[in-house]
Structure 1
């Protein structure tokens, strides 16, 4: 597990730091054990769980990986579990991991489908890799004025998940929904003594690339790593400020400073629009979808 954790944490993550240990434990599982577990559980449990939330008549949106379409025309798109740039071993092992590439495709399908009158992002995620998240935020922001999109936080919208959700036209949360964790983290390992086999790895970089392997235990090395994280964080904050119609300064001071806010406190800070239940959000979007369908029929 230690080697898996080092491999994961060396990269920048827009995720709750504690969740990296869970990902490392998944990455260290025996492959045969994973295959056996997946075969025993089957591939349909997550779809059935989402269908139960969307309603008994909901069906997979044609061509989509995640999105379910209700009979009334609401596309319910889950942002559940850790977020990765694309489908990979960890999205399969975690069971509910989200591929940013597939999420982007589902959003495009929902945007372009004449059957979809409104979209709900159902969010319960600790965040994930920042790769591709800015593009997703841009895609969601561009949907404003075309179709109504509501991000509903059922559990947590942390870090990269909040980055995405904040760009939806509306952001609502359950009373106990947790929002925020704005920031980027990386944990750089440095071997200081031999490992269990008695081997000590020593890295030597070329003369003109001292920042290729910055030493996190020196001030210069830590500053080099922090500068990279700050660059990603700056885009994160800028996208949140745009989506929430505020300023980057306000995001930095009022949106938790890396921490999270719950329900009404998140609304009071400007991080969400209102507190409401999932059922209320779905009924509200169902009315929107029905109105859109009627408007289309009238135009035709």
Structure 2
């Protein structure tokens, strides 16, 4: 296990477990200039891709980091790539990572903007850190009473990403979209022999903090780690049940059990509302935005 992967896996993640290895690869890139170049290329690609989806007349919503505003009054909010609590090295290096803090600000701006009549979450994310996701899910859920929020999953909405989109008014998927991966994972490393330099790290904790460094190979240590993950998972499931208008028991039994479902199977399970193309989703929201703006003018 690389040092980067050890650092990433030391914390709980609401993400597809295989994606941790991808992020570790990014973190291990050399520093001879290629990192900055790849970041810039990734950012350029992301801008072009978002512009193509929003349309040639779309402009960046004033004050927003990610969100585009179309001429129809639809705010397109991308949730793309791994989700982190705030902008950091990984969001800059990947070019497509999402900062939850910036996403929260974009949603607030879209909610308060008189130019925005409806909101589309454009989603293709493996999930990410659970830090702050509950509050962000609450924010999306609260917007449902103010403006229509539709989540269009073009690729995947896994783990923390599904946690967020489950709070939208509607979730629509394409035929091959992947949703689910409800749960939390932590890969805890334990050094059992000297490393390549012949060094063995030994940690000693204070007398009254035995659970500060639980041993993942002992029953007590595993139980301590699992209790932490379960407490995060409980909130995850509670928020999904609220957003999908179902029960926690139903989420546990029918929403994949930590696995994912594709397209129509996700709709049949209640994890999404219907299968449709991006164009249809956008047309639906454009009509909603037009009606909202007309209603707003009539109230003046």
Determine if the TM-score, normalized by the shorter chain, exceeds 0.5.
yes
1:49 is displaced (CA, Å) by: 1.2
Q: Aligned partners of 1:292, 1:25: CA distance in 2, in Å?
A: 45
Q: Aligned partners of 2:164, 2:249: CA distance in 1, in Å?
A: 19
1:37 is displaced (CA, Å) by: 3.1
1:145 is displaced (CA, Å) by: 1.9
1:35 is displaced (CA, Å) by: 1.9
Aligned positions of 1:1-300 closer than 5 A: 2-31=2-31, 32-39=33-40, 41=41, 43-300=43-300
TM-superposition CA deviations, 1:40-71 (whole Å, max 9, x none): x3743312210101111000000000000000
Q: How many correspondences in the alignment?
A: 299
Q: Aligned partners of 2:217, 2:75: CA distance in 1, in Å?
A: 49
1:33 is displaced (CA, Å) by: 2.3
Q: Aligned partners of 1:276, 1:107: CA distance in 2, in Å?
A: 24
1:144 is displaced (CA, Å) by: 1.4
TM-score, structure 1 length as denominator?
0.98
1:299 is displaced (CA, Å) by: 2.1
Q: Aligned partners of 1:154, 1:247: CA distance in 2, in Å?
A: 26
RMSD: 1.0
1:170 is displaced (CA, Å) by: 0.8
1:126 is displaced (CA, Å) by: 0.2
Gaps of 5+ in 2: none
Q: Secondary structure of the equivalent of 2:124?
A: strand
Evaluate the alpha carbon distance shift between residue 155 and residue 114 of structure 1 in structure 2; reply closer, same or farther with a 3 A threshold: same
Gaps of 5+ in 1: none
Q: Aligned partners of 1:12, 1:57: CA distance in 2, in Å?
A: 41
Question: Which stretch of structure 1 is more off in the superposition, 284-293 or 225-234?
Answer: 284-293
TM-superposition CA deviations, 1:9-45 (whole Å, max 9, x none): 0100000000000000001111332123335x37433
Q: Secondary structure of the equivalent of 2:66?
A: coil
Q: Aligned partners of 1:143, 1:37: CA distance in 2, in Å?
A: 35
